[in-house]
Amino acid sequence: MGKQKVIVTVAPTGGMASKKQNPNLPTQPQEIAEDVYRCYNAGASVVALHARRAQDDEATCDPAVYGEMNTLIREKCDIVLNNSTGGGINGDMVHQLNNGLWEINFEQRIKGMQAPGVEMCTLDAQTICASFGDKEILVPTTPTRIRKLAEGMMERGIKPEWEVFSLSDIVQEVNKAIAAGFDKPPYFINIVLGVNAFQGALPYTPKILQQMVDHLPKDVVFNVSAIGAAQLPATTQAVLMGGHVRVGLEDNLMYEPGVQATNLMLVERMVRIIRELGYEPATPTEAREIMGLPPLK
C-alpha cells in the first residue's frame, strides 16, 4: 500500500492582511502566480485565491483580476484553483449602512465565481459580524444567499469549499444545504479556527477540533485552517485525524516569534511534518480525485 495522501492548500494573500504587516504578502496577479508556483513545487496542490485592486492593493472580487491570476498560474502548473466569494474587508467589498454598521457587498462576492478557469470557490454558510478596529462589518450569508451561491457554483461546474467557523455552521447550515442537494459527495468542508475577529467563531483547542470533526456529515473530505500561532498545531492534528490542511499568509503572517513568514516557508514546513508523520503530500491530480473534481483538461 502507498502512503496516505494529504492535500496541502496554500492561501497566499487573503482579503485582510497588507504588505505593511508583512512585506512578503503577494497581492498582484504576477507576484501571486510566481509565489504559488514556488509553493506548488514545494508540495501544495490547491491554491485559495483572493484578488486585490491594482491601484491600492485593497480587496476585490473582480472577475478580470481573478481571470488574470488563474491564467498566469495555469500557465505555470496544474494546481487546483479555488477563488474566494468572501472577498475582503475593504476596497470594492464594503459599504456603510445607514445604521453605522458596514457590510460586505453580496453582489460583489458572487463575482468571485465568474472568472474563467476556476475549479472551486469558498462558500461561507453563515452570517457573521467581523470587528476590525472601530469597524463592525456584517457578512450576511442568509439561507437564500447560500442557495444562490450553491446554485451558481453547480451551474458552472464549480466545487464548493464549505467554510465553517463553529459547530453550529456544520450541524445547521451545511447539513441543510447538503440535504437540499446543493452539493454532491464527496463534500469538501474547511474548518477554520481561531478567527478572533469573527463573532461566534471558535478558538483552536484539540478538543474543539475533535468535536467539530465528530459532527461532520457522511462523505466528507475535511480540511483544517487556523489563524496565527494556532496554524501549526491545528494542521498537525488535522493530519493525524485523517484530514487535509491549509497554510499561508492569509491565515498566519509569522513563521515563529520575531520571524515573518513567507508562503513558501509555511508550505515547506507543513510538507516536512506530513512526511515525518508517515504521509505524503497529494499531487494536484490526486487532490482532484480525493475531492471529486474532474481531471484537468
User: What does the pLDDT read at residue 100?
Assistant: 86
Contact 88, 48 (CB under 8 A): no
For position 56, which CATH number holds? 3.20.20.70
Residues 27-38: what's their mean pLDDT?
Answer: 98
Mean pLDDT on 130-147:
94
Give the count of beta carbons closer than 10 Å to the beta carbon of residue 117: 13
In a domain, 11, yes or no: yes
By the 8 A CB rule, do 79 and 45 touch? Answer: yes
Instruction: Assign 175 a pLDDT band (cuts: 50, 70, 90).
Output: very high
- Domain count of the fold of the chain: 1
Provide mean pLDDT across the span 135-149. 95
AA identity, residue 230: A
DSSP character at residue 111: G
User: Cell for 171?
Assistant: 450541524
Range of the domain at 281: 3-289
Peptide bond into 186 cis (omega under 30): yes
Interhelix angle 231-240/206-214, nearest 10 degrees: 40
Mean per-residue pLDDT, 110-116: 95
Report d(CA 145, CA 65) in Å as an integer: 23
Mean pLDDT computed over 237-242? 98
- Kindly state whether residue 47 falls inside one of the protein's structural domains: yes
- pLDDT over threshold 80, residue 1: no
Instruction: Write down the mean pLDDT value for the chain.
Output: 97
Q: Is residue 268 part of a domain?
A: yes
Q: List all residues 6 or more positions away from 268 whose beta carbon is below 8 Å from its beta carbon.
A: 42, 43
Model confidence at 39: pLDDT above 90:
yes
Is residue 295 situated within a structural domain?
A: no
pLDDT in tens, 152-163: 999 999 999 999
Overall average pLDDT of the 231-236 stretch: 98
**Residue 284: which of 267, 296, 274 has the closest Cα?**
296
- The answer to whether 57 and 16 have CB atoms below 8 angstroms apart is no
Q: Quick check: 104 pLDDT over 70?
A: yes
Instruction: Taking residues 77-82, report their average pLDDT.
Output: 98
Using CB atoms within 10 Å of the CB of residue 175, give its burial: 0 to 12 exposed, 13 to 18 middle, 19+ buried: middle
- pLDDT band (50, 70, 90) for residue 297: confident
Separation of alpha carbons 34 and 271, rounded Å? 19
138 assigned to some structural domain:
yes
**CB of 243 closer than 8 Å to CB of 11:** no
- Is 229 exposed, middle or buried, given 0-12, 13-18 or 19+ CB atoms closer than 10 A? middle
